[in-house]
Amino acid sequence: MKITKKSITLLLAGLLYASNSFSQTYPKQDGVIRLLTYNTHYCKGGTDPGSLNDLNTKRFANILKALDADVVALQELDSAANGRWKRVLLDDIAKWSELDYVQVYGIAADYDGGSVGNGTLVKRWLPIKKIKKMKLGSDVGRILIRTDFEDFSFMSTHLDLDDNNRMQEAAAICTELDYIRKPVFLAGDMNDSHRWKNLAFSVFLEDFQIFSDTEGNTIPGREENTACIDYILFHDYKNSGIQNIESHIVRTITIDGQTVDLKDISDHYPVY
């Protein structure tokens, strides 16, 4: 099945063979593509220090299953760390989501005999044409994962906490657009906000537009109107005709009649 440029949208609907089997609050429309970004908090729940265990990972994966996105950017993943029983968190999330995801992992930094980094999950029906992993300049290690498809590219990242580093990373990401001849989505925990002045978003908005929901915050428990830091951005190319059908910061979700408060799942909300 060929997906044309005009059918690619921020909200993806499940194709008949990739549809979700249970009812939930945010069903997908038919014939469109859903993109998602979600900071996992290492699947230790919504609090610190939290607890690293299979139950919390399964709870996180169940939210992914419910939202049923076709392309997912995940942040705060660990892989083969000695103190975390050498788990490969991206593998576990993909497995327990029970969705047919291809996994793309990018190492941001070495950690405890293994690594930490970001990941991209892609439904297998959507063929990947190219993968590029690009280190972003930072003392603590940051990475950009670029996944190219036939009609668009998807960038997954997690930017630095330091303002200067973050602005340099944003500039490097925008420079990468010079080498891509198709529309581009950028998704991740930006550690930056369109509400802040003269920081990374002042760089991003020269090349990207905000496609994701910006009402309120993406960090649970933050009352001030400054904690919207998880985004999906869009860079058009030659008037592609790509449409933004729907976007939400998902704070609660009802799955088969049971409401889940997502502040208990991670310290960030998912954004599709």
Q: Is the pLDDT of residue 6 over 50?
A: no
Cβ atoms of 272 and 10 within 8 Å: the answer is yes
Phi, psi of 11 (to 5 degrees): -90, 115
Two tokens, residue 125: 């029906």
* Residue 138: per-residue pLDDT: 62
**The residue type at 138:** S
pLDDT (tens digit per residue) in 41-87: 999 999 999 999 999 999 999 999 999 999 999 999 999 999 999 99
Is 118 strand, coil or helix? strand
Two tokens, residue 213: 């929901």
Cβ atoms of 143 and 134 within 8 Å: the answer is yes
- Bigger pLDDT: 140 or 7? 140
pLDDT (tens digit per residue) in 180-237: 999 999 999 999 999 999 999 999 999 999 999 999 999 999 877 789 999 999 999 9
Mean predicted confidence (pLDDT) in 228-252: 96
- Calculate the CA 106 to chain-centre distance: 13
- pLDDT band at residue 139 using 50, 70 and 90 as cut-offs: low
* Residue 29: per-residue pLDDT: 86
Is 192 strand, coil or helix? coil
Domain at 30-264: CATH architecture: 4-Layer Sandwich (3.60)
* Euclidean distance between CA atoms 151 and 20, whole angstroms: 24
Phi, psi of 31 (to 5 degrees): 80, 10
* Residue 27: per-residue pLDDT: 87
Question: Exposed, middle or buried by CB within 10 Å (0-12, 13-18, 19+), for 119?
Answer: buried
pLDDT (tens digit per residue) in 160-184: 999 999 999 999 999 999 999 999 9
Domain spans of the chain, in order of start: 30-264
* Residue 141: per-residue pLDDT: 84
Show Cβ contacts of residue 6 under 8 Å, excluding neighbours closer than 6 positions: 240, 241, 242, 243
- pLDDT band at residue 137 using 50, 70 and 90 as cut-offs: confident
98-104: which pairs have CB atoms within 8 A and are 24 or more residues apart? 98/61, 98/65, 99/18, 99/64, 99/65, 99/68, 99/123, 100/18, 100/124, 100/125, 101/72, 102/128, 104/128, 104/131, 104/145, 104/147, 104/156
